[in-house]
């Protein structure tokens, strides 16, 4: 994320976009990209996503039949949180089993490609046309038509959800 102040308005303005990262915070994954899946099940990561994923990533089943992609450090943080959840709760056990059993660590090659395992490609019904979206701390891989249907269904309620999802922040 990039924020800073600007000199307009007598130096009293703020929140302008500049080229200075916020110290200590990871850069969020943003945007929608539409790459193609090759015949070997490989995806070329969008250029904006390559650096944060270069050290390694974990792909797993996501909600709504997408594939979720975590930077390795984010996945470890998430896994540590899951380990504190009570295993006596059936839903916790179910969720962690599905997530962990579908998880696949990967390191992008020099061209920024990752191979999506067949089990995950089948789960998300991936064809050649994909939507790769930034979702702040993670990336999601969708079959393009499924993403377009999801967006058409959910986007109308977007504006009214801000107060419900993030009370007092907007």
Query: Which of helix, strand or coil describes residue 146?
Result: helix
Q: Which residue has the tokens 């801000």?
A: 162
Residue 153 falls inside a structural domain: yes
* Tokens standing for residue 159: 């504006």
Which CA distances in Å does 16 have to 10, 22, 26, 28?
A: 14, 13, 19, 17
Residues 63 and 137 in one domain: yes
Q: Which residues are CB-neighbours of 36 under 8 A, at least 6 positions away?
A: 128, 129, 130
CA quadruple 31, 152, 34, 66: dihedral, nearest 10: 90
Q: Please write the tens of the pLDDT for every residue from 108-132.
A: 999 999 999 999 999 999 999 999 9
How many domains would you assign to the chain? 2
| Whole-angstrom distance, CA of residue 77 vs CA of residue 17 | 29
Residues 74 and 113 in one domain: yes
The predicted pLDDT at position 117 comes to 98
Per-residue pLDDT of the chain (170 residues; tens, 9 = 90+): 444 434 444 444 444 444 445 667 788 999 999 999 999 999 999 999 999 999 999 999 999 999 999 999 999 999 999 999 999 999 999 999 999 999 999 999 999 999 999 999 999 999 999 999 999 999 999 999 999 999 999 998 887 887 777 776 65
Residues 38 and 14 in one domain: no
Residues 38 and 16 in one domain: no
Mean pLDDT of the chain: 87
Residues 46 and 118 in one domain: yes
Residue 9 falls inside a structural domain: yes
Provide the domain limits for residue 11.
Answer: 1-26
Residues 75 and 113 in one domain: yes
Rounded to two decimals, the pTM is 0.83
Which CA distances in Å does 156 have to 89, 123, 149?
A: 35, 27, 12
| Whole-angstrom distance, CA of residue 62 vs CA of residue 93 | 16
Q: Which residue has the tokens 């967006």?
A: 151
């Amino acid at each position: 994320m990039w924020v800073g102040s600007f000199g307009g308005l007598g130096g009293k303005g703020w929140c302008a976009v500049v080229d200075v990262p916020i110290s200590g915070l990871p850069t969020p994954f943003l945007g929608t990209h539409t790459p193609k899946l090759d015949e070997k099940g490989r995806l070329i990561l969008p250029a904006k996503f390559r650096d944060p994923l270069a050290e390694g990533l974990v792909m797993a089943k996501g909600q709504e039949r997408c594939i979720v992609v975590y930077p390795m450090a984010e996945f470890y943080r998430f896994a540590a949180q899951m380990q504190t959840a009570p295993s006596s709760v059936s839903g916790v056990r179910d969720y962690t089993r599905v997530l962990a059993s579908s998880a696949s660590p990967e390191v992008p090659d020099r061209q920024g490609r990752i191979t999506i395992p067949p089990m995950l490609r089948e789960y998300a019904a991936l064809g050649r046309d994909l939507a790769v979206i930034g979702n702040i701390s993670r990336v999601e891989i969708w079959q393009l038509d499924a993403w377009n249907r999801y967006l058409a269904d959910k986007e109308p309620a977007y504006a009214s959800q801000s107060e419900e999802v993030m009370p007092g922040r907007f």
